[in-house]
Amino acid sequence: MISTSTTVTTSNAVIENRLTSFLYILACITLAAQVLNRGGIVSALIAIIFALTFVLLGVTWIREFAGIDLLAIVILLFSFISIFAGTLSERSNVSFEYMRKWIMFSSTIAFLTSAMKFRADQPLTKLVIRGSDILTLFFIEEYFRQGRAVFYLNGLYTRYLCFHFTNPNLTALFLLCIAMMEITGIANAKKFIAKFAHAAMAAALSYFVYQTQSRNSLLVLILFAAVFAFVQIFRKPEYRTSKILSALIAVYPLLFVLIYLKLIDVVSKESIFAPLVEEGKSLNSREQIWTSTVRLFQQSPVIGAYYQMSGGTGISQAHNTCLDILVSYGTVVFVLVVVLLVRLLYEKGVVLSNGRFLYLAAFACLLMAGSGEAALFSGGLCIQIMVGIFLTMMRAEESHAD
């Protein structure tokens, strides 16, 4: 006889997979709508995705309320208190627009927490793989169909591939997600023709990432390709994650900022580096915004400077995930988010196969890509779904390869 608790657990697992499938479909449609420049559809889909991420989180709570769930609640509570305290000190009114950034931040926390708590079934894993293929073909088709329009940004035709996203770094981040899914597809596919197709699509997406001229995303893509090559060449039977390495990955964007600000003066002053600073997208392009953002943090290190950072509008981002969280919500929230990310990257005693390790490596690389783009935590369409899905795929059944 099957116990009631077992039945509830099985039922919840099915609901979790179907909800995640629906969220992923909505995310794919959102990306397509953005590329087609359909702003009204995009806004509606973002609102639906936000609501469903919390429905998914609630469903996972019914099955199991774990320590990571409590951590997520504490992060959301403390971040809200930080905003409220900062707003009171400035005697400002709170509006939906003002809280939009925090709303997207909370959606990311909710989905990443949920994505780690259940095993993806065959329909979900196949959907993600096929969805990635369809998105790739769609981007390729629109690249040729729209022509110069995909380089249009802020009223000008530029050298940066944007696909109608708000900036080339965000474009690169989405392309990076899809490219990494295609690269993992090479490893997981069983038939040669499938491997070749994944490789061809990954190559096309890599070229698109290059055309965005997003240096951080390109470097992260190269890093992931190196990890992929290592896994394919050495074929270790199992992989274990490291807590120390996980912590370094979690704080890497902040370390990047600190090192960047220390070195940029040297690079700017030395004549040998002048071409790097003066031509194209200069190496010191982030110096001003990061310097001013660090100053804001120094003025309010405990509760952050959510109000000051945006000039009271709530619309802001530091183009770096760690710096954005640190300055927006303060030191306490930043430390809690780092703890959460380490929990997502590291599980004691867990052994990963080659395929599952690649999904985790992709998620880690996407966190590192936050060194140049804060969209994952400051609000970037459906980026939390495209990034968090790697955590779910990491727990997928091995037989999904096709």
Q: How many domains does the chain have?
A: 1
286 domain-assigned: no
35 domain-assigned: yes
270 domain-assigned: no
The residue segments making up the domain with residue 22 are 4-248+313-400
At 98, list the tokens.
């003002």
- Residue at 379: amino acid letter: G
The vertex-342 CA angle with 217 and 329, nearest 5°, equals: 80
Tell me which H or E stretch contains 382.
Answer: none
pLDDT for the residue 119: 85
User: In 189-214, which residue ranges form alpha helices assigned H by DSSP?
Assistant: 192-212
Residue 157 β-bridge partners = 152
137 domain-assigned: yes
320 domain-assigned: yes
At 56, list the tokens.
């998914």
pLDDT per residue rounded down to tens, the chain (402 residues): 344 455 556 778 889 999 999 999 999 999 999 999 999 999 999 999 999 999 999 999 998 898 999 999 999 999 999 998 877 766 667 777 888 899 999 999 999 999 988 888 999 999 999 999 999 999 999 999 999 999 999 888 999 999 999 999 999 999 999 999 999 999 988 899 999 999 999 999 999 999 999 999 999 999 999 999 999 998 887 888 889 999 999 999 999 999 988 887 666 555 444 444 344 456 667 788 898 999 999 998 999 999 888 887 878 888 899 999 999 999 999 999 999 999 999 987 678 888 889 999 999 999 999 998 999 998 888 999 999 999 999 988 655 545
268 domain-assigned: no
CA dihedral 301, 306, 308, 314 (to 10 degrees): 170
With 0-12 / 13-18 / 19 or more C-beta atoms within 10 angstroms meaning exposed / middle / buried, residue 279 is exposed
272 domain-assigned: no
User: CA–CA separation, 246 vs 200, rounded Å?
Assistant: 31
123 domain-assigned: yes
For 143-252, strand residue ranges (E) read: 152-153, 156-157, 239-240
pLDDT for the residue 2: 43
For the beta carbon of residue 17, count every other beta carbon within 10 angstroms: 20
* 187-229: pLDDT as tens digits: 988 899 999 999 999 999 999 999 999 999 999 999 999 999 9
pLDDT for the residue 279: 41
CA dihedral 306, 153, 182, 380 (to 10 degrees): 20
- Length, in residues, of the chain: 402
- Residue at 231: amino acid letter: V
User: CA–CA separation, 39 vs 193, rounded Å?
Assistant: 37
User: CA–CA separation, 360 vs 164, rounded Å?
Assistant: 29
